[in-house]
Amino acid sequence: GQQLNQSPQSMFIQEGEDVSMNCTSSSIFNTWLWYKQDPGEGPVLLIALYKAGELTSNGRLTAQFGTTRKDSFLNISASIPSDVGIYFCAGQGGSEKLVFGKGTKLTVNP
């Protein structure tokens, strides 16, 4: 079945640093989504990407839909303590279901 490889698994950074994480797949996806999950809560949508090559920003967050349709990355610039959480990529390809990556756990030290 479709699987996403998300890396890194975890990151420990200092406040103010930039962060980059990515997802790759052997399958083509038509949509890439990035969600953030805080403890005890559901995934919150950060950025949605619908076209190959698309680069989209949401404040300090920037995400790109890879030109091969098989990858996506998320960058966070000038990290702050409230960026702490687990970031998930999710792909959607030709069906209703979202396929999720295993998540990147981000820790920001003040």
Partner 1 sequence: EPEVTQTPSHQVTQMGQEVILRCVPISNHLYFYWYRQILGQKVEFLVSFYNNEISEKSEIFDDQFSVERPDGSNFTLKIRSTKLEDSAMYFCASSLWGGYSNQPQHFGDGTRLSIL
Residues that bind partner 1 in the complex, under the rule CB under 8 A: 30-31, 33, 35, 40-45, 48, 50, 88, 90, 94-103
Q: Is 7 helix (H, G, I), strand (E, B) or coil?
A: strand
- Please give the Cα distance from 75 to 97 (Å, whole number): 25
Query: Residue 25 CB, nearest distance to partner 1 (Å)?
Result: 13
User: Given the complex with partner 1, which of 59 and 110 has the nearer CB atom?
Assistant: 59
The DSSP code sequence of 64-94 is: EE-TTSSEEEEEE-S--GGG-EEEEEEEE-S
User: Given the complex with partner 1, which of 99 and 108 has the nearer CB atom?
Assistant: 99
Query: Residue 102 CB, nearest distance to partner 1 (Å)?
Result: 5
